Structure 1
Amino acid sequence: MSAAGGHALRLAGVHTHIGAYHILHGVDLEVPAGGTTLLLGRNGAGKTTTLRTIMGLWKASAGSISFGAADLVGRSTPEIARLGLACVPENMGIFADLTVRENMVLAARSARSADHIDAERLRWIFDLFPPMKRFWNHPAGLLSGGQKQMLAVSRAIVEPRALILVDEPSKGLAPSIIQNMISAFRQLKAAGVTILLVEQNFAFARQLGDTVAVMDDGRVVHRGSMAELAGDEALQQRLLGLSLGAHQ
């Protein structure tokens, strides 16, 4: 999908209520097409709620969310997915009792079986995440934490996507797996995929981010380049309460 004004995704004045709680208080966010945008902030700032609101899992009570020329507010999650968006939730969203193959078939909506998954795309995924090929017929619940995260990302990209939302992909992963994830996301970006990442690991964020938005109390309080934030420890302290330099 083409992105108007160079932005794949644009949120303007988005409010979200969950029951009696007012979580998002007028979020303004622009995600440039073809880049990686990091959504940072302290715990409880509203980052996950923002991703879930974009995907229609929670309904925006005010404001607009546009993906290219399409307005997402009021659309169902399946409708939003069909526009070319995918989301990797923090809990990964895999089916533990199913095999890796069965998980992938379910995610590939156009495939009735593994034989119907695009072979070239599957080879690309296997190159990104070799354990997916090695454990193709193993139950997903038996995979390690890092392998489950690989499966979650693989499910999101088994069909071509214009925009991928990922919630804390490095959480709980060993450093070697984190580097594998960084390489995979770089390859996705090189393939033209726009990425919006929520992340708490600031060294991970620094290596991947082109642009950054920082949230606090349900609002975006800072927007800019990752290079600017990474080079300004005083700004890191003010916005995040700690410095990227302490997490190398």
Structure 2
Amino acid sequence: MAPAPPLPGAVVAPPLLRLEGVHTHIGAYHILHGVDLAVPEGEVTMLLGRNGAGKTTTLRTVMGLWRASAGRVLLAERPIQALPTPEIAQADIAYVPENMGIFGDLTVRENLLLAARRARSLDDLDTGRLDWLLGLFPALRKFWLHPAGKLSGGQKQMLAIARAMVEPRRLLLIDEPTKGLAPAMIRNLIEALREVRRGGAREEQPTTVLLVEQNFMVARALGDSVAVMDDGRVVHAGRMTDLAEDEALQHRLLGLSLAAHQ
């Protein structure tokens, strides 16, 4: 998989999301130990690291599902770490958890409508945006009236991402979207996420993405920026291309090389 092409005239953007010295406790367990993280606006930032490094906890802390016990989470310089999760979501942040979070007994159509905060019926949805989403994920159009629980794993993942994008979002948090998917489905998902990053076919504002991923070739294909976590801290941050070209750094941070996965 080739690295994602840079956007025309792209420069490193100022951060849309910043974490400053964030600590998170879950019960008696101290999971995040002072996380510092900057997510540039309009880019895809990959959050990498070994299992148990704190990646999922970081996403859940941003969404307020687990509370930061210290430090600040800032969205466009506005502190959000003390806000309730529904209010954080109202700030145009969407979260796709590792378990996808779809409603298996509801149809594809009903899942998408339920995720649209401003729509009470299908007629209230932006038809142009809906057509764009169904173009990215054709299986969703095919199974429009089927129960979501009967979709394949890859189709469920695409529905989860489509739910998060059924309305324009400023920030999209995605946890391991390619886990367990077949290579052909991974390629389709990569192309869809590239289109999301560009803002779609209607010249909308590009969506900023923070993406947790264990497939390092996917990280290389999609990432503009990268942060690597270990033991509840960010131990490396920079451009994805720089990490992709430095095998020694890959071994030191991740215990393997991207070249071995080509």
1:208-228, CA deviations, whole angstroms, 9 ceiling, x for partnerless residues? Answer: 001100000000000011111
Q: 2-side partners of 1:113 and 1:131: how far apart? A: 22
Counterpart code for 1:193: T
Q: CA shift at 1:115, angstroms?
A: 2.1
1:41 aligns with 2:49: yes
Structure 1 alignment gaps of length 5 or more:
none
Match of 1:13 in 2: 21
Pick aligned residue for 1:26 from 34, 52, 69: 34
Q: 1-side partners of 2:18 and 2:191: how far apart? A: 27
Provide the alpha-carbon RMSD of the alignment.
0.8
1:160 aligns with 2:158: no
Match of 1:232 in 2: 246
Runs of 4+ in 1 over 6 A off after TM superposition: none
Match of 2:261 in 1: 247
Q: CA shift at 1:110, angstroms?
A: 1.0
Match of 2:89 in 1: 81
Match of 1:208 in 2: 222
Q: CA shift at 1:129, angstroms?
A: 0.4
Q: Map residues 1-248 of structure 1 onto 2, 5 A cutoff.
A: 6-191=14-199, 192-248=206-262
Q: 2-side partners of 1:12 and 1:74: how far apart? A: 14
Q: CA shift at 1:101, angstroms?
A: 0.6
Q: 1-side partners of 2:33 and 2:90: how far apart? A: 28
Tell me, what secondary structure is at the counterpart of 1:213?
Answer: strand
Q: 1-side partners of 2:59 and 2:162: how far apart? A: 19
Percent of pairs identical after alignment? 67
Tell me, what secondary structure is at the counterpart of 2:228?
Answer: strand
- Give the structure-2-normalised TM-score: 0.92
- Give the structure-1-normalised TM-score: 0.97
1:97-139, CA deviations, whole angstroms, 9 ceiling, x for partnerless residues? Answer: 1100110111001111222211011001011100111111000
Q: 1-side partners of 2:29 and 2:123: how far apart? A: 46
Counterpart code for 1:111: A
Q: 2-side partners of 1:141 and 1:247: how far apart? A: 32
Q: 2-side partners of 1:184 and 1:146: how far apart? A: 13
Structure 2 alignment gaps of length 5 or more:
1-12, 200-205
